[in-house]
Amino acid sequence: MAYIQKWFDVDFGSSYAGIGTTGYRLLQNDNSDSVARTTSGVVDLGNGSYGVPLASVPDNAVGIEWDTGGVSPVYAREDIEPHRKDVSIQADLDNPDQYKADVADIVDGVWDEDLSSHVLSGSTGDVLNRILTATEIKSAVVNDTGASKTKFITTLTETTNDFWTRGSLLFTSGNNKGQIRGIKNYLGLTKEVTIQTPLSFQPADGDIFIIIAARKFLTPDVEELADAVFEEQINEHLTVGSFGYVLNEVNNDLKRVLGLLHENIFIDNPVYDAGNNLTSARVRIYSTAGSVGTSNNVIGTYTITAGTDDIAGKFNTWSQIKT
């Protein structure tokens, strides 16, 4: 928004810098007051220069008289006519200092504003809120005098292991300023960060960095995913029909097979020769001891046969063949 004003200024010289008594009056043709002397609205422009914006100038005013005030004031006069044309305060490029405080207030207001109250769809506030929702952004400092290029203790506060794992770490100060690295590991107890690739320099105690961790959307790398799968406890995944269930069953069966030659065995259907020597028999192996001798839980049936060249009454060889 542009406010229509007139601008007047005066330069008394650097020896009159910072004088709080500087004022002005508007003069008529006979040198009498059109507007009596006042210090209201006077802006100190620095180095002995002063100015004032006026919303309007009376028609009978022909000049402006400045003075420094005090016991021995110094005066300066200027014809008002060149200022009669309305000008926008935004176009007063010759005197930008008068607006510095306002600009600073605006900047502070924007950056300090609470984003939660700016959620209009498609607005900048809405976009920033979405970014913050999807991404964790945090600044911290190296808190380690013995930091290495890949590992260092920090001032991060999160106590959960791997809270920042797979995030990105960007140094904003020190010799590594501008370098970004992926986070391989985070220890909640010591607040130690391990990065995936070495930095160019060992971080110094007090170096500042920021973490950008879109932890809700990032997935582990292939190596971490493989480690997680193969190190998982099978007994935590026993839903019938699931891959974990099948592996668990296979695991149990293998354990039984390794010992079944010496347990849960039942021999029947013997065949003897004329000298009552055992020549063959049926052997069944069971998965559970309570089923031995029955037709339940049979996991293997075999036939054992004596060698044809064995001497009567002796059992020198035998074979076990699955049927």
Full-model pTM: 0.34
More confident residue, 2 or 132: 132
Burial class (CB in 10 A: 0-12, 13-18, 19+), 225: exposed
287 and 238 co-located in one domain: no
83 and 161 co-located in one domain: no
Residue 77, in any domain of the structure: yes
Q: What is the mean pLDDT of residues 110-115?
A: 78
**pLDDT value of position 151:** 96
| CATH code of residue 191 | 2.40.10
Which of 78, 102, 126 lies at the terminal end of a domain, its last residue?
102
76 and 35 co-located in one domain: yes
Residue 123, in any domain of the structure: no
Give residues with Cβ within 8 angstroms of 40, minimum separation 6: none
Rounded mean pLDDT of the chain? 79
Q: CA 79, 83, 87: angle at the middle one, nearest 5?
A: 170
93 and 151 co-located in one domain: no
Condensed to tens digits (0 to 9), the pLDDT of residues 25-48 reads 999 999 999 999 999 999 999 999
245-265 as b/e: b if 16+ CB within 10 A: eeebeeeeeeeeeeebeeebe
For residue 123, which amino acid is it?
S
Residue 74, in any domain of the structure: yes
Q: What is the mean pLDDT of residues 51-72?
A: 89
Q: Among 11-15, 186-190, 235-239, which is the least confidently predicted range?
A: 235-239
Is the pLDDT score of 198 beyond 70? Answer: yes
**pLDDT value of position 88:** 42
**pLDDT value of position 236:** 72
142 and 191 co-located in one domain: yes
How many domains, in total, are found in the chain? Answer: 4
197 and 274 co-located in one domain: no
33 and 87 co-located in one domain: yes
298 and 250 co-located in one domain: no
Residue 94, in any domain of the structure: yes
Residue 279, in any domain of the structure: yes
Q: Is 297 left (phi over 0), alpha (psi -120 to 50) or beta?
A: left
**pLDDT value of position 91:** 44
Is the pLDDT score of 190 beyond 60? Answer: yes
Residue 128, in any domain of the structure: no
254 and 281 co-located in one domain: no
151 and 166 co-located in one domain: yes
Q: State which residues form the domain around 313.
A: 263-322
66 and 39 co-located in one domain: yes
147 and 69 co-located in one domain: no
Residue 57, in any domain of the structure: yes
Q: What is the mean pLDDT of residues 136-162?
A: 92
Do residues 237 and 249 make contact, with C-beta atoms less than 8 angstroms apart? no
**pLDDT value of position 155:** 96
Residue 127, in any domain of the structure: no
